[in-house]
A and B are shown apart, each in its own frame.
Chain A
């Protein structure tokens, strides 16, 4: 390994080696020059990342080593990494990353200007920018409205492989669409790292409903980085189900750039064994009259652990902001752990902002009530957890989808 590399974190991955990057670049020599430059620049920035500090607030409570790439020695070459389903029309572009490089290079040319969520995973962001070979590009043109959801299925790579994905979602003014993303593993036993970068931009009055269902196998690592930018009167609603993986790091940023943008972020995590859910979020109000609402619920069995670190940031110009952030943790075993870091930074005074965080166990009375009706304890617990998650799943407006999401959670208890 090259001894001149500055960061300990980089040292642990072959992706930091100049030879590795060169070989990768040679393989991608068919790409346009600006893309090659972008990869080169990202990789140089990765190699120049400073020594990782031991005490980094963005990684507080996190067993950071679990998110490294030390177990990976190559990039996956599976053609199956993303599949797309959805009505094609002139009003919409929905293509895989590689296809879009050929068909819509202008859409991808914004990549060098994108910054990601900036919530701690700089290394993953830069590696993703250097090595992404899959992902998807979605663009809904102005005034396009479609109720039928667009679906993207992402697949985590094989044993010792890493997969980096770039997704760009652009919803033009007054378009209204639904996007569902599934994250699955190719098989049930292999360890692999799936790192997913999403850039979502909503124009004036645009509306995007997005659902994420993550059910990777219990050995995988999942890095999920996203940044959402909302224009004037734009509305974004996200509902995430984090069910699988050995460890998941979510970094989600919602920037309200236009007047009266509305950002809603709902997420549930259901953990068992040694599962780790490390979630970092920010609701950043830059423009006035914005609304944001965030609700993250974690139910934790066995030795599982969840970290929630959220920040509501209200800039001085963002007067008349309504912003809420809630984290609820349900601990179902003695060894389960929930760490909450709910934060507020408020620089405007005409605002309504609050956050709440609670951590507790199942209410004995609720359990007793169900048991006294002849329901076994384990089923009663399952019902209570399903009930606990209902206000996340209930945010999805499509009735069929709601039913299938309930099944996803319910399924978890049957396996």
Chain B
């Protein structure tokens, strides 16, 4: 019998921070209307944005915590000790040399410039509230691709972004989307003109550096007719004594025939509350794929969704979650079919290690006036230790006799027989465990870009090290 224990996650790569005492802009501690006005003032925003923020703030105050279905751990978030805006007055630099030294040190240690040189079409690096570095290959700029932060997006390209801003995810969608709408800062605003197909991905890198800091980035990606884009985001934070909050809103708009692929590798330190609202709208024949990997954080609540608004639109969520001691990965997917012949696919795999808990929550909705809609959902959970936990809470609402859905979920543990088989072939127990878990998530890992999948495999190998006593 295998006795796995104490699997350690490699979160050390991001576990460092440089003390920054010289934040030029600091909204102080706690949330109030004044804080919202301060943030808007620093950004020199137009009146409609300030109004939008203030309205969101009042909605946030009114909304209750969703604890009637979600984890009670949410009650441990103390909104009064969080800092809502911190920036060094940095403007996103166009060249790496211009990035302030201490921020540069951070990102160099995380390997950002290296990655960019290797294979990315553009990079944005956000340090606390604002982007420190943003650059895109020149030829893309010539084609009309826009890749800027939220402040620049709304200021410099209102004719493009204002139309969709806050439309896919309304402010009042949930308490945390309201919070984000009140204090958002940073994030990526991307526009891809009709027919432009980006061969290489754009990447954003999010970094929390200060203690008690809440990061509220806002991302809006618009892929115009027939265009294609892949976007990747990575997140890290150092381990502080107290918990921090990351609450993003990500809206994707895929116009007719467009394709958006959104890849997240979330590796926050395990005291970050990661409460993110992500939703896409897919017009006729458009395709949106969310590829989501959650390894870090204390509590993640994230259910990427696709509203399939146009005929033949397609939505997909591929999700991997790893929950270790003290972690709760509450992830899932929402597929709202709003046009005929739309299809959606959800594949979620989770691994619970030690006392970790992973949950799948899903929603699939097909109204009766639609025809030939299809959904397929598969959730597989792997439990490594005897005190690991996994839950599945899907909701499937189907009308009409012209649609079909199927949902399947299974829970299993590491098979002693398979481990034994591998040991017979000369692998030691730890290697066998690693291979087993890698095999469990392998078909999803293949969907990540090569660089990421190699990294993920390495991460899993590391976690499994010392997993068997």
Contact = CB atoms under 8 A, between A and B. Distances in A.
A339 to B, nearest CB: 5
Interface stretch (B39-47, B377-385, B454-462): B377-385
Contacts of B396: 338-342, 357, 359
A57 B68 contact: yes
A349 B69 contact: no
Contact of B385 (A60, A341, A349): A349
B406 A346 contact: no
B275 to A, nearest CB: 19
A349 B407 contact: no
Interface stretch (B120-128, B170-178, B206-214, B409-417): B409-417
B74 interface: no
A332 interface: yes
A342 B392 contact: yes
A126 B409 CA distance: 35
Given A343-B391, A346-B383, A358 B404 contact: yes
Contacts of A8: none
A347 B385 CA distance: 10
Contact of B395 (A319, A341, A344, A351): A341
Given A56-B68, A342-B409, A337 B398 contact: yes
Contact of A356 (B401, B409, B413): B409
Nearest to A362: B401
B351 to A, nearest CB: 12
Contacts of B409: 342, 344, 354-356
A354 B384 CA distance: 17
Contacts of B391: 343-346
B394 A357 contact: yes
Name the prevailing secondary structure of the B interface residues.
strand
A27 interface: no
B398 to A, nearest CB: 4
Contact of B411 (A61, A333, A339, A344): A344
Nearest to A300: B401
Interface residues of B, number: 36
Given A337-B398, A337-B399, A361-B401, A353 B411 contact: yes
Nearest to A351: B411
B393 interface: yes
Interface in A296-351: 316, 319, 329, 331-351
Nearest to B408: A356
A358 B392 CA distance: 16
A57 B397 CA distance: 14
A228 B401 CA distance: 35
Given A319-B386, A346-B383, A353-B411, A340 B404 contact: no
A135 B358 CA distance: 43
Contacts of B68: 53, 55-57
B400 to A, nearest CB: 5
Interface of B: 68-69, 368-369, 381, 383-413
Given A342-B396, A344-B381, A346-B390, 20 more contacts: A61-B395, A319-B386, A333-B400, A333-B401, A334-B368, A339-B398, A340-B395, A342-B409, A343-B393, A346-B381, A348-B386, A349-B386, A351-B383, A355-B392, A357-B394, A357-B406, A357-B408, A359-B404, A360-B404, A361-B401
Interface of A: 53, 55-57, 60-61, 316, 319, 329, 331-362
24 contacts: A56-B68, A57-B68, A329-B398, A333-B400, A333-B401, A334-B401, A337-B368, A338-B396, A338-B398, A340-B395, A340-B407, A342-B396, A348-B383, A348-B386, A349-B383, A349-B413, A350-B386, A351-B383, A352-B412, A353-B411, A355-B407, A357-B405, A361-B402, A361-B403
